[in-house]
Amino acid sequence: MSEPIETALAANAARIEAALEALLPKGDGYEEDLYEAMRYACLGGGKRMRPFLVMETSGLFGVDEACALRVACAIEL
């Protein structure tokens, strides 16, 4: 039996948050404020429904998880 939707959404949101954290630069120097604003806008949390749909659909079609994760992050951004 599959897991409840709430559990699946939470697990996926955590994976997306971690991937976005790794992808978004922290910046230093004169661009630090810009990068901080980008990170604030993108890492605000939420259900991450769009990336969830990407990950679930990619699983149905046997897409490599690492590739699907990058696409899910791109869709979320």
Nearest to 56 by CA among 2, 17, 1: 2
State the pLDDT confidence band at 1, using cuts at 50, 70 and 90. very low
Q: What is the pLDDT of residues 4-58, one digit of tens each?
A: 888 999 999 999 999 999 988 888 888 899 888 888 888 887 789 999 999 999 9
**Burial (CB count <10 Å: 0-12, 13-18, 19+), residue 41:** exposed
